[in-house]
Amino acid sequence: MDDDSPYDICVSDDEDAHPRIDADQIKHAVATTLREHRPHPARISVALVNDARITALNQRYLGHHGPTDVLSFNLTAAHDGAPLEGEVVISWETAAREGAARGHSAEAEALLYAVHGVLHLVGYDDQNAADAATMHAEEDRILTLLGFGAIYGGTGDG
């Protein structure tokens, strides 16, 4: 990111065997999503993990069994004016599997997950059909801005 950017975005990757997922593309997707929805300062970390790691996090923090595609954790302090702070955890194994099943690259699927995770951090929800449709349309709008087109495309579980 530029030195004058209001965003501090870090992408960590402790996995060796994942398909090529470009950390700079992830950072760009996160920054674009933030710019579109929250021009205020933000500190976001993105972790690319395997299914075993995201399964453990999913169980520990949400009580859900099995792997998921992406988890978001809003870490923002409880006072007004605080920068948005959050963590987005992406399963690269799920991205590879779902991308192949849906006819696009693991990287495109991981970018969808990054945008989805950040949208949760800025207030979007997908707990009912109407909210999910709104959120998925916004994901596709942002991914189109990024030059990837409508990745979600109204199919799958985004």
More confident residue, 1 or 31: 31
How would residue 148 be classed by pLDDT, with cut points 50, 70 and 90? confident
Could you tell me the residue ranges of all domains in the chain? 7-145
| Digit-coded pLDDT (tens) for 2-47 | 556 889 999 988 656 566 778 899 999 999 999 999 778 999 999 9
| Digit-coded pLDDT (tens) for 74-93 | 998 766 677 899 999 999 99
Task: Label each residue of the chain as H, E or C.
Answer: CCCCCCEEEEEEECCCCCCCCCHHHHHHHHHHHHHHHCCCCEEEEEEEECHHHHHHHHHHHHCCCCCCCEEEEECCCCCCCCCEEEEEEEEHHHHHHHHHHHCCCHHHHHHHHHHHHHHHHCCCCCCCHHHHHHHHHHHHHHHHHCCCCCCCCCCCCC
Per-residue pLDDT at 40: 84
Q: 84: alpha, beta or left, given left = phi > 0 and alpha = psi -120 to 50?
A: beta
7-145, CATH topology level: Collagenase (Catalytic Domain) (3.40.390)
Q: Is the dihedral of CA 113, 13, 83, 3 positive or negative?
A: negative
Per-residue pLDDT at 92: 92
- What mean pLDDT is predicted for residues 120-140? 94
Backbone φ and ψ of 5, nearest 5°: -70, 140
Per-residue pLDDT at 133: 94
